[in-house]
Structure formats: structure tokens, C-alpha cells
Amino acid sequence: MRIGVYVCHCGGNISDVVDVKKVNAVAEQEPEVAFVRDAEHMCSEDGQKLICDDVLEQNLDRVVVASCSPLFHENTFMKTVAKAGINPYLFEMANLREQCSWAHPSKAAATRKAEDLVKMAIAKCRLDVPLARQALPIGRDVLIVGGGIAGIQAALDLADAGFQVTLVEREPAIGGKMVMLSKTFPTEDCATCIIGPKLADVSQHPNIRLLTYAEVEEVSGYLGNFNVKVRRKARYVDWEKCVACGTCAGKCPTKVPDEFNQGLSQRKAIYLHNPIAVPHKYLIDGLVCRRLKQDGNACGVCEKLCAQKAINFADQDETIEIRADTIIGAMGFDLFDATLKPVYNFGHANVITALQLERIIATGSSGPPLRAVGNRVAFIQCVGSRDEQINRENCSRICCMYATKLAQLLLRIDPTRDITIFYTDLRAYGKGFEEYYKRAQKAGIQYIRGRVAEVQPDPEGRTLWITVEDTLSREIIESEYDLVVLSAGLVPARATDRISELLKLAKSPDGFLQEAHPKFRPVDTLVDGVFIAGCVQGPKDIPDTVSQASAAAARAIRLMNKGVYETEPVKAFVHEERCDGCGQCVTVCPVRAISTGKQKAQINQALCKGCGICIGSCPTEALDLHFYTTQQLEAQIEKALEGKSADEVRLLIFADNVCTYRLADNLGTGRLSYPAETRIIRIPSSARISPQLMLYAFHKGADAIFLGECDHKASPYTGSVDAIERNLTVARWVLEEEGVSPERIRFSELLASLLTDFYKNVTSLVKLAKKEAEPITPEQRERLGERAKGPLPEVREGAVIHG
């Protein structure tokens, strides 16, 4: 074996603090290291060329680069070594910048740490094995969940590109919220006019199979092989026969509030979803139809009248099985339920939501108005947004503009109106927005900066009284209005919870679906092959929705276009001789990739995400993880602690790749220093760290251990936090039995933004190890080494069980 080690100066970022020559010297002493060199910028073209040339000239077969964070340049260097003919999984990095020179200003301490980090990387590299990316076949079938403008746009892009699309929509017709709108800001295009052609395109496209009034019930499988069960709800009208003449609805005796018109009008039990519904077919609401609810002989007027004989009371829900290669989630949003803010008195006849006002204006041009609007109108912004009292901290992004638009439209219909918009901040960030806002001000719409405190009904009449501080003049205003419009915010659509569980998608803290990376992968999710687009990912307007939809389509095409896709080879595997078929791994796997056939664990390599939860949970240590094998972790632990002197302490940090490692990098990037006694080991999930490994770490000299993992709400690996808690319980139990303080191991759920949490945890643990806890004796460390060899107690249903 001939390992080449490169220590990067990073233009002074590393070399100003870390003594690079010393690091070189240490690297040279390590076994199997054949060649060591330092350079200014390893990531530059020159740097990369150096590696390629050296591999040839020095006959190197493995490479270690000690430079910046692997989250930064790992992919770059992996491609470089691959070009030089070395398997990219024989390449390792040591993080000497974000987690060393940037975080520890003391040159001596940073250099010590750098030496250890390089030794750890070399030790891991020595034990690397070549791993091959598998090329798996992938077809051209896409499932899109949600038929609003996001789903429609993605569907058309994919269908036009020659892919087969199944578009599933829960409502009887497609168009989502956009088809409810009157006009769109800032251009005041008629919403139905511009979406109309797209609706027609979708229904007629040969490559799109449209399933409306249908819901996704079950999802199994993986990228290239999804199996989905869709329940097509009974509609009691044969859509092959219905010609939408409307005679049935004319005579139907049952009236209920019309959801499309937001409750402002009524529809019949047999109804057309909306005036421009696509598909343009009637259906029967089984919950209110007399014939269907009561008995088989009631009513039936529609059946008698239908000339096409399209009514079918015997209709049943139908389960349709669909296979898909990729999936796009575009479930959209719902409007915030304003009854959750009782101070605004939603429920009073003259307090309405913006969506209700959209319907009033949209229907106003083609018939009698849904209701009167009056002369003095007030808009209240930030209803259900930016509000800690109801746990909705996010801004809903579009309300400032839609209120401006609605105000403009009302004024145009009746220029004598007196309209006021009560806002907190006026967010007019998009193209043409500021100009539109200015036109609204010019037209005479009054903007008052104050968050409305109360809306109270007038005791005598039907008007409303608004109490608010005009924060710009500091006057308290109490004024009377004919109509109060609540600019309600956007919340994730009802279906989001259910669908996200089915697809195993993570949610952001605000409840919307989480993208894989906020900057570079805005429409990907951490589930391979599943993309998201539109408001399900977060509030946005129509142009941004359409952009995301086309982006999601492009990302799906990118995966499917070549007919094959490459998998990451970092997967779990089984040491069969140690497996006793207990099945613990089966239950903890977040993607159900494990089964126990023939009394041994079997791992589906296509499904496996390489998180490592199963490995940490295996009582016999029969499971292992490529690229993060137990042997490799033990080697890294040894090297991290090897150089420790008797009066020093070491805190080993196991950092999950998604959040904690990123968080540690962020501290360095922010030049926030923390104790240099820390040594960070990167793993996909901290659940990979079994209690045996934790004890081994103490055996080898660790004085404290910190496990960091993504907050369970944001984690792509469901159940990782629970698994870590179980492993912790066992390790702490053993520590306590051996007389070592269990406080020496700590675990925290983190997000990449929680810099102070990380800092506090790390500093207090180091303090504990240095000053507070009884020092660990050599005898205790020996004992812990013995205990690490097992067997260890297990945690079942919260209780620690021995044997």
C-alpha cells in the first residue's frame, strides 16, 4: 500500500495557525504512507494536477488530503483521484480548516489537533476498500401528487419531454388554489384565463394520465421502483357518459356550502367542482346525498333526469396500482384557519378571508355578487404568520402583495371606496412588486404600519371596530369598517403530514416539506427519486412555484434520462457468522431495507440509505457499514487519543453528516472557538455508534463523548434519535456499574444553525472532564475495554435488561 498525503495551506487559512511542517512530519511516520507533500491550494487546478501527477510518478494507490471540510470539497477530490485511476472510496480528508485552524486560535493546540486529525484520516484510509457505485436501471414513469399549478407545470414539462406522467389530485378537478383566484399580482392577469390552457393541455396530453378525486394511500419501493396504491374515490357518475349539461343539479334537493366559493354560496349534492373544472364532469358528494346517506329508495331525482344515464349509485372506490420511477410531491398549501386568532373575530358576518374576497371578485364580473363588500374596507396583514403565540413563526411571503392586489381590484370596481391595509412590514421583494405597491399608494390605498390588536363588532350595527397603533405616528387608532379582510397566511396542505409519512420525507421546523439542501438542492429531498415543488416546500407566489415545478421536472429527467442511475455504495452489510436473526435491525431501519430471511439479516442494497442505525442497534455487532466500518471507527478512535498526555482530557465528538458535522463547520466558518481538546469523527448518523464503541472509546482514553444528531423533526433518518437514546442508556448503565460518571456521555439533537447549543454542550463537557468528575483510573479503562467486548444489557420498552 502506498498512501499519498497532502497538507493544504489553504492560502494561509490553515498554515497561519497550524504548523504544516510538523503535520507533514507526523504523517511521514505513519505506516503505509509513501509520500507527503504540502501545497498552497489543493483544490485549485494546479493542486489537483499535483495529485494526478504524483499518483503516476510516486505509484500511489490511496490519497489523503488534509485541508478544508469534506462537506466542501470531498466530491471535487473524489473526482480527481478517480481521474488518476484510484477508486474514489480509497480517498480520505482531514478537516484542518473549519474544525481546526478556524476554530482554535492557539497555534500549539491547533497543530496538536491537526496532527491527530491527519493520523485519523490515514488510519481510516488504510482500512478503506474499493467500493463500486452500482448502475441500476430506471424507467420513464413519474408520479406527481397534487394537481395545482406546481403539479400541472411539472407534469407538462415531463410529458413534453417524452416521460409518462400520472397526476393524482384529491379534488374532483385540477387547478388547485390558482384557479380560485381573481387576478394575479403584479400584472393583474386573470388567473383562470392564464391557467385555462394549461388545464386543457394536461387533460389532453397523451403522456399524462389524470386521476382526480383520488388519493395516494400506500407507497413502497425506492428510486426506479416505486409501487403506489391510489384510491380513486367513488363519484357515482360515469365520467365516460356525463356531458355536464347540469340538469341533475338543477333539481337536486340537497344544498350544502360550496367549498370552492369558500362557503359564500351553496352547491348541490350533485355538483360541478368549479365553473371551469377540468375534468368537466359532475359528481355526487356521498356524505350529503340523500340516496346514498339514507336508504336506497330516497330521492334519486338526478338518476331519473339524466339523459345520458350517467348516474351510478352503485359506484365504489377503486384501488389503482401505479409503478413509478420518480415521484414529485406538489400538494400545495391551505389557508391558515383564522378561528385560531379569536382577537380578529372571524365568524362575524363582516370578517372574511382574502380567499373569500378572491371568490367575491372573481364571480363578481359574471353575475350577482356573492355578498356585499361595502365602502370602508380594512385588510389585516400577518394573520397566522410571524406569530409565536400560535407557533407559526414564518412569514407567508405573498400576503403583502395579494392584499395590495385585492385592494386595487376593489378600488377599481368602486373608486369611492376607502381602503386601508394594516401591515407590519410591507414585503414587495419580487419583480415589479415595488412598482405595483407604489401604484397602489398612488391610487389612494392607505397603508398603516401597525399590527391590529383587536377587531370588535359594533354593538348597534354590522360594522367592525379595529384597534391598532400606527407605529409610525404613535397614535392609537380606533376605527369603524364595513368589511374586514384577514390576510391569512399559508400553512402546509392537510395532506402533507400523511403523504410525507408515506414518502418518508422530512419536514422543516415550520411544517412545510424540507428540501435536501437549502441552497444547492432546493427541489430535491433526502429520499432519492422524490422531489418537491411549489408551496408544499414553503410559501411562494406563482412565478416561483412554476420555476420550482420546472426545476423538479428537470431533476427527475436528470435521473431518468440515461436509463440508468448510480447508487452510493455506502451501505450496510452483514457479518453472517455473528448474526443470530434476532430482527432488532429490521424494526429500527427507517426505510425498511432489512428482512430476516434464512434466520440472517438481509439488506436490500437499493433501499439502504447507509445511515447506520441498524449497526448501532445490533446486540451482537453483526452488522457493519461500508466506508464507516467498526474497524475503521476503532482505528480513528485510537489515533484520536494516542497522542494524549496524562494531564490532558479528550472529548470525542461523533457528528452526524447531515446536521452536526455541518454545525461544527459553521462554528469554524464563524470563527467561534471552542475547546481544542475535541476530536470530531464523522458518521452518517450517530445511531451508528453502538454502546460497545462508546465503551471502547473510554477504554482507549476518551474522557467524554458527545453525540450529535439531527433534530428528529428535520432528520432524514426516522427513529435515529430513539436508537441513540437506547444506546446511550446501555453505555451509561455500564459506565455507572464500573464507577465512571455517566454524565461523561452526552447527546443532543441539533440543527446546523444552533451554534450556541453545540458550543455550550462542548465547553461544559470538557469542563466536566477536566474539573468536575472523578478522573478515570487506568484500571477502570481496562475494565471498560473488557465490557466493550460484550455481551451488554439491552434496552427493551424503556427498561434495561441483562443477558
Partner 1 sequence: MVRKIKLQAKNREFCRKISELSGEVVMLCEQCGTCAGSCPMSAEMDITPSQMIRLVQLGQEAVLENKTFWVCASCYTCTVRCPRGIDPAKVAEALRQVKLRQAIDYIQIDEISSEEAKKLPSVALVAAFRKMTG
Partner 2 sequence: MIQIPYYPGCTLKNKASNFETSALAAARALGLELVELPRWNCCGAVFSLSSDDLMRHIAPTNIFLRVQEMNRDHLVEDEYRLVTFCSMCFNVLRRTNQRLRESLEDRNKINDFSYLETETYQGRVEIVHLLELLRSMGWDKIQERVHKPLTGLKVAPYYGCMLLRPKDVGIDDPERPTIQEELLRSLGAEPVDFPLKLRCCGSYQTVPDKDLVANLAYDILSRAQKAGAEAITTSCPLCAFNLDFRQKEIQEKYPMFLPIPVFYFSQLMAIAFGLPQEVFGLAGHYANPRTLLATKGYLQATSPLEGGEG
Q: Rule CB under 8 A: which residues touch partner 1?
A: 343, 382, 386-389, 424-425, 449-454, 467-471, 474, 476
- Cβ of residue 755: shortest distance to partner 1, in angstroms? 16
Report what 459 binds from partner 1, partner 2, none; CB cut-off 5-8 Å by kind: partner 2
CA distances, 46 to each of 9, 80, 93, 685 (Å): 14, 11, 18, 35
- Residue 396's Cβ-side half-sphere holds a number of Cα atoms within 13 Å equal to 25
Give the three-state DSSP class for 402: helix
Query: Which residue(s) pair with 104 in the sheet?
Result: none
- CB-nearer residue toward partner 2: 457 or 511: 457
- CB-nearer residue toward partner 2: 454 or 510: 454
Report what 451 binds from partner 1, partner 2, none; CB cut-off 5-8 Å by kind: partner 1
- CB-nearer residue toward partner 2: 187 or 339: 339
- Cβ of residue 345: shortest distance to partner 1, in angstroms? 14
- Cβ of residue 476: shortest distance to partner 1, in angstroms? 5
Where on the chain is the footprint of partner 2 (CB under 8 A)?
A: 342-343, 456-457, 459
Query: Which residue(s) pair with 346 in the sheet?
Result: 348
CA distances, 19 to each of 327, 461, 667, 715 (Å): 50, 81, 22, 38
Residues in the chain: 803
- CB-nearer residue toward partner 2: 91 or 344: 344
Contact 757, 748 (CB under 8 A): yes
Contact 118, 66 (CB under 8 A): yes
- CB-nearer residue toward partner 2: 266 or 456: 456
Task: Write the Ramachandran bin of 262: left for phi over 0, alpha for psi from -120 to 50, otherwise beta.
Answer: left
Report what 318 binds from partner 1, partner 2, none; CB cut-off 5-8 Å by kind: none
The contacts of residue 69 (CB under 8 Å, 6+ apart) are: 93, 95, 97, 98, 99, 661, 665, 668
Report what 470 binds from partner 2, partner 1, none; CB cut-off 5-8 Å by kind: partner 1
Could you check whether the bond before residue 791 is cis, i.e. omega within 30 degrees of 0? yes
- CB-nearer residue toward partner 2: 410 or 768: 768
- Cβ of residue 403: shortest distance to partner 2, in angstroms? 24
- CB-nearer residue toward partner 2: 479 or 508: 479
- Cβ of residue 669: shortest distance to partner 1, in angstroms? 24
Query: What is the DSSP code (8-state) at residue 392?
Result: B
- CB-nearer residue toward partner 1: 343 or 554: 343
Of 234, 495, 458, 252, the residue nearest 350 (C-alpha) = 458
Report what 774 binds from partner 1, partner 2, none; CB cut-off 5-8 Å by kind: none
Report what 598 binds from partner 2, partner 1, none; CB cut-off 5-8 Å by kind: none
Query: Which string of DSSP letters, residue by residue, matches 12-66?
Result: GTTTTTS-HHHHHHHHHHSTTEEEEEEES-TTSHHHHHHHHHHHHHTT-SEEEEE
Q: Which residue type is seen at 56?
A: L
Report what 386 binds from partner 1, partner 2, none; CB cut-off 5-8 Å by kind: partner 1
- Cβ of residue 353: shortest distance to partner 2, in angstroms? 19
- CB-nearer residue toward partner 1: 486 or 553: 486
- Cβ of residue 343: shortest distance to partner 2, in angstroms? 6
Report what 745 binds from partner 1, partner 2, none; CB cut-off 5-8 Å by kind: none
- Cβ of residue 342: shortest distance to partner 2, in angstroms? 4
Contact 133, 567 (CB under 8 A): yes
- Cβ of residue 771: shortest distance to partner 2, in angstroms? 20
Q: Which residue type is seen at 426?
A: L
Query: Which residue(s) pair with 795 in the sheet?
Result: 800
**Nearest-angstrom CA–CA distance, 686 and 594:** 19
- CB-nearer residue toward partner 2: 456 or 631: 456
Report what 725 binds from partner 1, partner 2, none; CB cut-off 5-8 Å by kind: none
- Cβ of residue 349: shortest distance to partner 2, in angstroms? 15
**Nearest-angstrom CA–CA distance, 260 and 181:** 11
Report what 452 binds from partner 1, partner 2, none; CB cut-off 5-8 Å by kind: partner 1
